[in-house]
Structure formats: structure tokens, C-alpha cells
Amino acid sequence: MEKATITLAADADGIARAAALLREGRQVAFPTETVYGLGADARDDRAVAGIYAAKGRPAFNPLIVHVADTDTAQQIAAFSPKARALADAFWPGPLTLVLPLRAGAGISRLVTAGLDSVALRVPAHPVARALLAAFGGPVAAPSANPSGRISPTTAAHVVAGLSGRIAAVLDGGATPVGVESTIVGFDSDAPVLLRPGGVAGEDIARVLGQPLRRPDSPAQPTSPGQLASHYAPRGRVRLEATEAHPGEVMLGFGPVDGALNLSPSADMTEAAANLFAMLHRLDEAGAEAICVAPIPRRGLGVAINDRLARAAAPRDRS
């Protein structure tokens, strides 16, 4: 276990030091365009085990592998024409593809939790891209928060949750998208939306020329990250609220204003970028009950509502 977590500036020196720590098998948090990831060498079992340990994450939960480009991704997984079309349209960017793992790809079994598929993504954030280039290998990275807690969108969030448990955090400022990547898998050749996220499902369906299916069963082991209660602040959460009840703090949206407002102008991109940061702020302020204004279920609103539903779910997690 690490002792002190150092914060590294996202300049050439900081990126070189972060890459060196990854090469030593250590765990380093870094910004992506979605949220901060907790990275480790995806080929190194011990390094990956260190991610699970730092997060206190259930060991059956597989991790996303971050790579520099589509060529590298194709060495790790087999791409169908549809998968290739999505990579061409959305990488680098907030899309994760779950694809058949190639034999001999060298990815730690702890990353895939023993599945014969692997989740891959080429991030767009310049600091993530610089780190992947400097490291020169695949980086496994879940969101850099303790398991079951809110995803971090600033280096300060990472430090608040994981200080003393990881080697370093590369500070690249606030992450622009603010919700995790959209995860798409394939059932035979049919595209399945495993997790809504930073790329709108409508845009994916448009590129493929066919609708995305939802997973057959929400409890499917192929998407174990979809634990019911996740992204949870400490306080109770009530959704679709048009006004605060006594004792509640309101998280507003558009004209339904509150102590904080995700986007006074009802802009979905702004709301997604603010979501976790505002939940963190209410958490830090000690809010015991949070109510959230209705958010339309279109575009990024699907991902926002998904995360909010998890934040409001009964607290049955460890």
C-alpha cells in the first residue's frame, strides 16, 4: 500500500514521472475527457490488483483498457466491421467497445475478470493521450474513486477519495465531459448499449444505421459494473423533484432552480460536466437529503438519469 500520494502537474515532467510510476507497476490517477481514471499497466497482474485494492472494488468487476489508437486496440481485440465503424466515428472519445479478446494479447486476466471479452477505449483528453504515448502500453483504468462512490472529475476529488492508497495523481484540471464513457458490446452482431455515457446512444445508432439493444437482463454478468447502488453520495437522493421537501437540498436543472443548478440554461452537456462535481459539493457540505430536478431523457440526459438512478438506489452495496 502506498504512503503519500503525490500530485503531479500535467506538464512534460509530470507526465514522464507518471509513466515511470506505471512502468514500476504503481497506480496513477489521470484525467480523461470523461472522469479521472485510476491507471495501471494492463499487462501486469500485480499492478492491476493494486487498482482493485486501492478502490476496494469487487473483484468480479472488469476494467476498461485505455490505448493510444485504434491500431493498438486491434492488437488486443477482434473488431467486426460494425466495431470498426464505431471506432472510426468516435475514437478518440468517450466510447468504450467490448470486443472478443485476442489470444496472446497479454492483458492481465484480472482486467477482464476472466471474461473472453475486453473493454477498450481510446481517450481524447490530451493529458491521457500524452501519458499513453509516454508509457507505450495499455493502461487499465476504472474511475478513480473508492468503489461505490461518486466518480471524480477533478484531481482534488481523487485525492479526497484515494489519498495514501495510490502513488500519484496527474492534475489536468476539471474533466470536460463529466460522465463516463458509453459502453457498447455486441450480441452476435447486434449492438447492445451496456452503459449510457458520454456519446449519445442516438449518435451511435445513426452511425450503425440500426437501433441499440439494451442488455437482456440488468443483472447480466457481462456488465457487472451496473451494480444498482453506485455513484452514491452519503445523503438520501430523491429524483424528479419540482420542489424541496423540508430538510432537503435541491440540485436544480433549468428553470427548476436549487442550492446548485446543473445547468440554468438546460444545456445537457453542461449538466453532464457538472453532475459529479455538484454531487461531491453537496456531499462535502454534509447534505443529508438531496432532491434533484427532472432531467429530460434525451442525448446525454440518458446517461445523467442513469447515474442519478444509481445515486438514488437503496444502499445495499458494501
Rounded least distance, CB 26 to ligand TXA, Å: 17
120 in Cβ contact with 67 (< 8 Å): yes
- Among 225, 217, 240, residue whose Cα is nearest residue 181: 225
Rounded least distance, CB 37 to ligand TXA, Å: 3
- Closest CB to ligand TXA among 176 and 224? 224
For ligand TXA, the binding residues (CB under 6 A) are 32, 34-35, 37, 61-64, 94, 96, 98, 112, 115, 117-119, 121, 141-143, 180-181, 183, 185, 194-195, 222-226
How far is C-alpha 258 from the geometric centre of its chain's CA atoms? Answer: 26
291 in Cβ contact with 245 (< 8 Å): yes
Tell me the site size for Mg ion, rule CB under 5 A.
1
32 is an interface residue for Mg ion by CB under 5 A: no
- Closest CB to ligand TXA among 52 and 253? 52
Cα–Cα dist 312/55, whole Å: 21
Cα–Cα dist 175/226, whole Å: 22
147 is an interface residue for Mg ion by CB under 5 A: no
Rounded least distance, CB 121 to ligand TXA, Å: 6
- Closest CB to Mg ion among 143 and 154? 143
Rounded least distance, CB 41 to Mg ion, Å: 19
DSSP at 296: -
With CB under 5 A as the contact rule, the residue among 5, 32, 96, 143 that binds Mg ion is 143
Rounded least distance, CB 35 to Mg ion, Å: 7
- Closest CB to Mg ion among 55 and 82? 55
171 in Cβ contact with 156 (< 8 Å): no
27 in Cβ contact with 51 (< 8 Å): yes
79-to-72, 100, 103, 210, 294 alpha-carbon distances in Å:
12, 8, 14, 18, 38
- Closest CB to Mg ion among 63 and 167? 63
277 in Cβ contact with 154 (< 8 Å): yes
- Closest CB to ligand TXA among 214 and 245? 214
182 is an interface residue for Mg ion by CB under 5 A: no
DSSP at 199: S
Part in contact with Mg ion (CB under 5 A); list of ranges 9-17, 96-104, 135-143, 288-296: 135-143
Cα–Cα dist 172/175, whole Å: 8
Instruction: Please confirm whether the linkage preceding 142 is cis (ω < 30° from 0).
Output: no
What does 154 bind: Mg ion, ligand TXA, none (CB cut-off 5 to 8 Å by kind)? Answer: none
153 is an interface residue for Mg ion by CB under 5 A: no
Cα–Cα dist 132/143, whole Å: 16
Grid coordinates representing 147? 468503489
Residue nearest to Mg ion (CB): 143
Grid coordinates representing 87? 471506432
Rounded least distance, CB 63 to ligand TXA, Å: 5
Rounded least distance, CB 62 to Mg ion, Å: 12
Q: Which residues are near Mg ion by CB under 5 A? A: 143
